[in-house]
Structure 1
Amino acid sequence: MHTQVSLSDIGRLITGEFENPAAVLGPHAVDWRGQTAMAVRSFLPDARAAWVIDRASGVRRPMRQLHPAGFFEAICDGPIDGTVISGEDGRVGNAHSRYRIQMANDSGDMIDIQDPYAVPSILTDYDRYLMGEGRHHDIYHRLGAQIRTVDDTPGVNFAVWAPNARSVQVVGDFNGWDGRKHVARQLPNIGVWELFVPGAKTGQKYKFRLLDHNGQWVDKTDPMGFAAELPPLTASIITDLTTHHWSDGEWMEQRQLQNPMHSPMNVYEVHLGSWKKGPGRTHGWLDYRDLAKRLTDYCHRMNFTHVELLPITEHPFSGSWGYQTVGYFAPTSRHGSPQDFMYFVDYLHQHGIGVIIDWVPAHFPKDQHGLARFDGTALYEHADPRQGEHPDWGTMIFNFGRNEVRNFLVANALFWLDKYHIDGLRVDAVASMLYLDYSREDGGWIPNQYGGRENLEAIDFLREFNTVVHEKFPGVVTAAEESTAWPGVSRPTYDGGLGFTYKWNMGWMNDSLEYFHKEPIHRKHHQNDLTFSLIYAFTENFMLPLSHDEVVHGKGSLISQMPGDMWQKFANLRLLYSYMWTHPGKKLLFMGGELGQWNEWNEDDGPDWLLLDFDTHRGIQQCVSDLNRIVNENPALHELDFSHEGFEWIDCMNAEDSVLVYMRKGMEGAAPIVVCCNFTPVVRRSYPVGVPEAGFWKEIFNSDSEAYGGSNMGNYPGRNTRGEGHHGRPESILVDLPPLGVTIFRLE
């Protein structure tokens, strides 16, 4: 039968290998009997007959079946009302609003279809320009699976960036996973494949099936999929992110007005999969809604201001704790749906708890269904393994110099702040991003253009990320896990810094734990392990972390790292926490640490809550709760965490007795706080401590209290000044320093 489509093109359409099906399918202007007419073509493998229906007049034109596999064509020699014979590549403009296709299947059912190839692209010229520049910060409104209605026909618009693929099909529940039915069209110049699928709906599973650059068919998870199947299944799920009705308006408004630098921040680091278990559930995983209520109640009891979640993005291997992410735009289905996670954040906000998530832009896993070699080429990663593979983790490293990759990551960060109201992003493994030779031998890395080891493209990416986040979402915080002496990590980008709100103080953590590992009799030789941190404490906005990394991989739990007999182990742990909570900087503690847990953490077991049957462990828990409360209630312990004006040594030279005494100060009007630390089990009675003012200094905390399992050696209710100066101060008090203990005094 006469047609202007070649047999070879029809053959490639039938096999799903046509790289640009829109060049054949859909409405096209053709020369028909000396006049310009419109050809409507469709591939309908389930149809035995088909018609083109004029929406305005209702006229039905039969389509000829040009191939028994289901290729149909109708030549509309009379105009369809309102059509414009124009457009790119001989396509017909405005035809999408003027006709529908009706098909009869083998069962005789009549089915109306919106022709997906007659639907205009969801991406505007401006979208395409921004993508090319790497500045389309809300690209998650365009790519992926976008719910869309065209001419009263509901469906889903699918779009994916795969510039080197030969063909892309959309497969899913809506087409019986037969990709020939929905072969995407390639948009010119930007490498995006797109197709509107009428009738696709929320809850259906889908993937992109790519004929990659090497000629291999491979199924890929949507890089911007909003939800995913429960691992080990890997399909993406069509999701509507507009259905949750947020009730955290007051929190969001206050967040913009509050300065996080001067506010208390006591962070409880949590792995949702193991924090609490539920009987009868898959792997014991609780759902987000249940977790929201339990975690809120616990944070209130413990006086934590924020929770920080180990990565909740979808990941195939639970043993990676989420740090090997595949679904960057999908909260893990282990605990429920995206709407359930929205409820989680909303609930915590309504009850005054902030939510920070770990974000992993440094690397991604090699799983075949993920980002690795996405279109058969090194698309998201560097092609050279010296730049594109991480030698320690067996993962791929993002190509931060590629506009589209940088766009993907910045947009992903903004996505969580926008769609899920997240309050902060802790960026994992920043050090590995900053240095080209990170964990590499000589000859195993490529210097930058100036011959140096700095990753200039990653530095530019981090600066852009921080600039855009703080500009678009005032009050949101970013924190860098950065373990080197890189300058200005938490300094503004306009001053040459990386722009983070906070930097994890890994030096403080390492020095402090090294000191506490030592028997008290030896500590007098290592006083500088504690005092050194105050030399650089105000060069960055530091957060003090005792994170999950300190209680895994054979390190043991925190209490098992403490020296001495059983009593001394508990006393040392209370001493460590008390020293940490009174040291300048925001605080972070990983779950289980507040219990004095003996076993090191693993993702299957989580905290040993049964330990709370013992007074000693309940004492540790109460100690942490009270330390949080004291920091929250006393401006001197949080207002000037990042300024030398907020800290003053009173006595840092008594290494012989392993004693430290220091003062914390807040802004004008804040009562000063004096902290006395005794790092030995020897009681120091009537120890003179210089103070800045005369009056009554109330003991507001004593880590040796019997309420915490201590010996109750202290100074209750406090001490009056004695009219004598000491330590260069005009006044002083005599203090009994408890064994392996900390006492905190406030001027009343």
Structure 2
Amino acid sequence: MTTLPLDHGHLQKLVTADLVRPDQLLGAHIVTENGVQGVRFAVWAPNAQHVSVVGDFNGWNGFDNPMQRLDFGFWGAFVPSAQNGQRYKFRVTGPNGQTIDKIDPYGAFFEVRPANSSIIWEQDFTWSDDGWMKERSQGFEQAVSIYECHAPSWMKTSDGWFMNYRDLAHKLGEYVTDLGYTHVELLGVMEHPFDGSWGYQVTGYYAPTSRMGSPEDFKYFVNHMHSLGIGVLLDWVPGHFPTDEFALAHYDGTPLYEYADPRKGYHYDWNTYIFDYGRNEVVMFLIGSALKWLQDFHVDGLRVDAVASMLYLDFSRDEWIPNIHGGRENLEAIAFLKRLNEVTHHMAPGCMIVAEESTAFAGVTTPTPFGLGFDYKWAMGWMNDTLAYYQQDPIYRKYEHHKLTFYNVYRTTENYVLAISHDEVVHGKKSLVSKALGDWYNQRASYRAFLGMMWTTPGKKLLFMGQEFAQGNEWNEAASLPWYMLDLPEHRGIYNLVRDLNKLYRERPDWHVGDTRDDGMLWISADDSESSVYAYVRRDYQTNRWSLVVANMTPVYRKDYAVGVPQGGEYRVLLNTDDSEYGGFGTQQPPLIALEEGWHGQLHHLKLNLPPSSVLILEPVQKPTVSEER
């Protein structure tokens, strides 16, 4: 990594949040000054009375290496005796005279918890993914299927410890490649103090957690995934940070990284502080963190956590401070998010920045300056409606029929990811397959139908680990996934279905190129609430290639069900979630020849045998003629 001289000009660029990476100056860097090799330390603590650097190199003596106060509230020191791999902290005396040892906000590596010292760390790593980095693109018409993974609990070692990033690269890489995913998204991989937090209370915004290895081990993970054609996304948390005394909280003895007023700077629900987006130095710190992961670690994108909590000053609070216009929007946070997306897309071409945003805030994926500039937004409305329908007793689903059609009303207003994430399978919510009512067979049939509709509905895909083989119990971050289930036919069948859905999704442009277009999905029948049957077409507007999806969402067999189709001739089945390979009965179809009789507003129709709780996907055998394409 290139480091910059500690001078007024570079400090000025950092303060004004220019495109200089702040970690190139701040933190700990091995340098040679006046022919002497050592470590240059620098930290931002404008309200501190005194700062010294303590560590293994001076016996943790606060008197040996005092830091010099520099311009703009920065402090610096050169320590000849410091070496790579040694632990250190900044001993900060605040304006009230209290002295606390603080970690380096820009620390590149940390001790394994429960210890928390920063570690001087600069190591070489040889990348072999130049081709991937140059060619990667996150075009909205591409297939994007994401396997969301909590790395520490995906698979543990035989003694119950965390798997090293390098071992994870091979095991997880082979697994998701077989399943046909395009991306892996890792929950909170940045350094954090508490295992049970899942990594969302970050203390080291510039360091992968040491639980699973070194920064070079993590780079190996990314590099290997790229060699398999798998992109890597990370969850990133710029909305709040923990109150742990050793980390960012009241860093120089005063509210520094956080807003001073608790009505604006404290999350009561999460017991965390909220970043002060009005400070250039804080904006610099956060955007620098994003760039570090995208540039130095070669990750392909970030999923920005809890965006709604950033956008609104009244988020989950009774008492709040209006903005200068009297409104509830956090104008500073909005400006920060726009800047974040502008800088990351400029400095890391081809990256994907995704918002976990749960409100109706307009323009989340609209380019700046008119919108926030994200590439994608999680479809939280779709998720809530779909899961509410899925958990309903099938006998009452006819009264909730609209829950599976309403998404089509607004689906082109943003670029959406259909996300069924970890949040839906914890805290008593049950695993996905267990949410469905009925006996074990009907639960699995209903779950297969759920997956069939999800993969054929416009929007990129995300499914949390364990749900690809119908994990029986909800997720437990303290234990490995129950891998023995893959040896059971009923669970292997769900795995086979997810694998085949991903294969078709990637191979068929009609399943993904029209995600953000009105004509990417056309309803054939959206109002048969009495039967709880849905029929729609997915279409590639470029070639007019299309497929027909028919979903029967009740455990009732429907023989010779008539479905209108836009084209005559013979049809073939692309996928049937009732196939025996997936754990179903393998219901047979009549001859799939479209009858020349209008139905559902179409010129022809098919007679289909709809298995209970199933999704049937078909396509015409004969490609559309030129005249039909017009």
TM-score by length of 2: 0.96
CA contact (8 A) 1:260 1:477 kept: no
Asked if 2 retains the 8 angstrom alpha-carbon contact of 1:635 and 1:670, the reply is no
Q: Please list, as runs of the form range in 1=range in 2, the aligned pairs for 1:542-553 lying within 5 A after superposition.
A: 542-553=416-427
| Aligned match for 1:577, one of 451, 454, 460 | 451
Q: Which residue of 1 aligns with 2:216?
A: 339
Q: How does 1:439-450 map to 2 (within 5 A)?
A: 439-441=316-318, 444-450=319-325
SS in 1 for 2:615: strand
Identify the residue that residue 128 of structure 2 maps to in structure 1: 247
Contact 2:141 2:515 in 1 (8 A): yes
Equivalent of 2:601, from 728, 743, 748?
Answer: 728
Partner of 2:628: none
Counterpart of 2:528 (choices 640, 654, 658) is 654
What amino acid maps onto 2:156 in structure 1? K
Q: CA deviation at 1:519?
A: 1.3
Residue by residue over 1:380-402, the C-alpha shift from the partner in whole angstroms, topping out at 9 and shown as x without a partner, is 00111111110100000000111
CA distance in 1, matches of 2:185, 2:480: 16
Select 1:279's aligned residue among 137, 153, 158.
158
SS at match of 1:409: helix
CA contact (8 A) 1:704 1:714 kept: no
Q: Deviations over 1:28-56 (max 9, x none)?
A: xxxxxxxxxxxxxxxxxxxxxxxxxxxxx
Residue equivalent to 1:401: 278
Amino acid at match of 1:453: R
- 1:261-286 C-alpha deviation (Å, 9 max, x unpaired): 11111100000110001023xx5200
Structure 1 unaligned runs (5+)? 1-119
Matched-pair contact (CA < 8 Å) for 2:4–2:24 = no
Query: What displacement does 1:714 show?
Result: 4.1
Q: Which moved more, 1:144-153 or 1:344-353?
A: 144-153
Q: Which amino acid aligns with 2:594?
A: T
C-alpha contact 1:264 1:586 (8 A) present in aligned 2: yes
Instruction: Give 1:366's aligned amino acid.
Output: T
Q: How does 1:199-348 map to 2 (within 5 A)?
A: 199-241=81-123, 243-255=124-136, 258-280=137-159, 283-348=160-225
Alignment correspondent of 1:747: 620
Counterpart for residue 368 of structure 1: 245
How many angstroms apart in 2 are the aligned matches of 1:565 and 1:634? 34
Give, in whole Å, the separation in 1 of the partners of 2:339 and 2:139: 21
Give distance in 2, aligned partners of 1:299 and 1:539: 31
Which sits farther off after the overlay, 269-278 or 468-477? 468-477
Q: Secondary structure at the match of 2:429?
A: coil
For residues 532 and 161 of structure 1, what CA distance do their matches in structure 2 show?
A: 50
Summarize deviations over 1:480-536 as a string: whole Å, max 9, x none: 111111111111113x21111000001100101110111111111110011111101
- Residues 263-311 of structure 1 show CA distances to partners (whole Å, capped at 9, x for unaligned) of 111100000110001023xx52000000000001001111111000001
- Report the Cα offset of residue 606 of structure 1: 3.6
- Establish whether residue 485 from structure 1 lines up as the match of residue 360 from structure 2: yes
What is the match of residue 469 of structure 1? 344
Q: CA deviation at 1:722?
A: 2.5
2:4 and 2:25 in contact (8 A); partners too: no
- Which residue of 2 is the match for residue 680 of structure 1? 554
Give, in angstroms, the shift of residue 645 of structure 1: 1.9
CA contact (8 A) 1:696 1:719 kept: yes
Residue pair 2:15, 2:284 contacting (<8 A) in 1 also: no
Q: Which residue identity lines up with residue 329 of structure 1 in the other structure? A: Y
Q: In 2, distance between residues paired with 1:674 and 1:668? A: 17
1:153 match: 36
Shift, 1:259, TM fit: 4.3
CA distance in 2 between partners of 1:182 and 1:294 (Å) = 45
The answer on whether the counterparts of 2:4 and 2:10 sit within 8 Å (CA) in structure 1 is no
Provide the residue aligned with 2:397 in structure 1.
523
- Could you tell me how far apart the structure 2 residues matched to 1:136 and 1:583 are? 39
- Per the alignment, do residues 121 and 410 of structure 1 end up closer, same or farther by CA in structure 2, a change over 3 Å counting? closer
Kindly indicate whether the alpha-carbon contact (under 8 Å) linking 1:122 and 1:157 is maintained by their aligned counterparts in 2: no
CA contact (8 A) 1:714 1:743 kept: no
Match of 1:196 among 60, 78, 88: 78
- Give the match for residue 52 of structure 2: 169
Q: Which residue of 1 aligns with 2:625?
A: none
Task: Tell me: CA distance 1:590–1:734, structure 2 relative to 1, closer, same or farther (3 Å).
Answer: same
Q: 1:714 to 1:456 in 2, by over 3 A?
A: farther
Matched, 1:383 2:260: yes
Question: How far apart, CA to CA, are the structure 2 residues paired with 1:633 and 1:232?
Answer: 47
Structure 1 position 593, deviation (Å): 0.7
Distance 1:121 1:468 in 2: 20
Change (3 A) 1:592 1:484: same
SS in structure 2 of the partner of residue 544 of structure 1: strand
Task: Specify the alignment match of 1:11 in structure 2.
Answer: none
CA contact (8 A) 2:596 2:605 kept: yes
**Alignment pair present for 1:627 and 2:501:** yes
CA contact (8 A) 1:592 1:606 kept: no
Matches within 5 A, 1:442-461: 444-461=319-336
Contact 1:506–1:545 at 8 Å: present in 2 too? yes
Out of 196-205 and 294-303, give the one that drifted further: 196-205
C-alpha distance in structure 2 between counterparts of 1:721 and 1:448, whole Å: 61
Correspondence 1:565-714 to 2 at 5 A = 565-669=439-543, 671-714=545-588
Within 2, Cα distance between the matches of 1:253 and 1:728? Answer: 47
Paired with 1:508 and 1:714, the residues of 2 have a C-alpha distance of 32
Deviation of residue 136 (structure 1)? 4.5
Paired positions, count: 619
Contact 1:635 1:667 in 2 (8 A): no
Q: How far apart are the structure 1 equivalents of 2:494 and 2:358?
A: 29
1:121: how far off? 8.9
* Aligned residue in 2 for 1:738: 611
> Which residue of structure 2 lines up, in the alignment, with residue 102 of structure 1?
none
SS of alignment partner, residue 553 of structure 1? coil
Amino acid at match of 1:659: V
| One-letter identity of the residue aligned with 2:453 | Y
Q: In structure 2, the residue corresponding to 1:268 is in which secondary structure? A: strand
Give, in whole Å, the separation in 2 of the partners of 1:555 and 1:154: 56
Tell me the residue number matched to 2:63: 180
Could you say which residue in structure 1 is the equivalent of 2:307? 430
Q: 1:534 aligns with which of 405, 408, 415?
A: 408
Q: Residues 153 and 199 of structure 1 are in contact (CA less than 8 Å); yes or no, is this contact kept in structure 2?
A: no
Counterpart CA distance in 2 for 1:376 and 1:555 is 41
- State how far apart, in whole Å, the 2-side matches of 1:670 and 1:244 are: 47
Contact 2:183 2:231 (C-alpha < 8 Å) held by counterparts: yes
Give 3-state SS (helix, strand or coil) of 2:609's partner.
strand
**Deviation larger for 646-655 or 730-739:** 730-739
Q: Contact 2:258 / 2:275 at 8 angstroms: preserved in 1?
A: yes
Write the letter of the residue equivalent to 1:336: G
User: 1:661-709: per-residue Cα shift (whole Å, max 9, x none)?
Assistant: 0001114225201100000111122222222223332211000001111
Query: Displacement, 1:156?
Result: 1.2
Deviates more, 1:721-730 or 1:563-572: 721-730
Q: Which has the larger radius of gyration?
A: 1
How far does the alpha carbon of each residue in 1:92-125 deviate from its partner, in whole angstroms, 9 at most, with x for none? xxxxxxxxxxxxxxxxxxxxxxxxxxxx992233
Other-structure match for 2:296: 419
Give the number of the structure with larger relative contact order, counting CA–CA contacts within 8 Å between residues 6 or more apart. 2
Q: 1:123 & 1:734 partners in 2: Cα distance?
A: 75
Partner deviation per Cα, 1:580-608 (whole Å, 9 max, x = no partner): 11000000000111121121112111421
- SS across alignment from 1:475: coil
SS at 1:374's partner residue?
Answer: coil
Q: Give the SS at the match of 2:76.
A: strand
